[in-house]
Amino acid sequence: MSEWAEQAVCRSVDPDMWFPNYPGQEWDAVKICSQCPVQKECMTASFDQEEEFGVWGGVTHWDRVTLLPKYMKRAKPDRQLMVDRMLQRIDAAIEKRVAHKKEVNDRRLERNARNNQRIRDELKSKGFSSRGHKAA
């Protein structure tokens, strides 16, 4: 095992997380990778070793299939530039996903608040308290 692998955060996580069955299932693994101190080394190794399966350095096997030929065509110094760009894209994708989830959650909370107010108003118009008890 390489030295960098001993520092990898994934060593303390359920191994099944790194092998998603379908696209969209990989986000927890990608988020963990983004916090790992050896993410760059892991991603580079996945390309150099032509890993076929799993999430490595935040890159899924679906992404690696399309990126690997581009990576292999590059000279070694250019490969690191490609990895650096991928790291930036992963960070941006995570930020975008987190913002989207917050937006969806905020809309859900607003919708629930409106529905609750509508129910309270309806109860009040029928002579009930907001708890459903008949007003005296």
Number of domains in the chain: 1
- For residue 136, the model assigns a pLDDT of 63
Residue 133 falls inside a structural domain? no
Residue 121 falls inside a structural domain? yes
- For residue 20, the model assigns a pLDDT of 87
What ranges in 76-135 are assigned the alpha helix state H? Answer: 76-125
pLDDT in tens, 36-84: 999 999 999 999 999 989 999 999 988 898 899 988 988 888 898 999 9
Query: Helix (H, G, I), strand (E, B), or coil: what is residue 5?
Result: helix
Residue 99: CB atoms within 10 A of its CB come to: 10
Q: How big is the chain by its Cα radius of gyration, in Å? A: 24
Domain of 36 in residue numbering reads as: 3-125
Residue 63: CB atoms within 10 A of its CB come to: 17
Residue 134 falls inside a structural domain? no
Whether residue 12 has pLDDT greater than 70: yes
- Contact status, residue 33 vs residue 57, Cβ threshold 8 Å: yes
- For residue 96, the model assigns a pLDDT of 93
Residue 16 falls inside a structural domain? yes
Residue 79 falls inside a structural domain? yes
Distances (CA, A) of 81 to 2, 73, 85, 109, 135: 22, 13, 6, 42, 71
Residue 70 falls inside a structural domain? yes
What sign has the CA pseudo-torsion 40, 74, 82, 47?
negative
Predicted structure pTM score: 0.70
- For residue 76, the model assigns a pLDDT of 83
Residue 117 falls inside a structural domain? yes
Residue 130 falls inside a structural domain? no
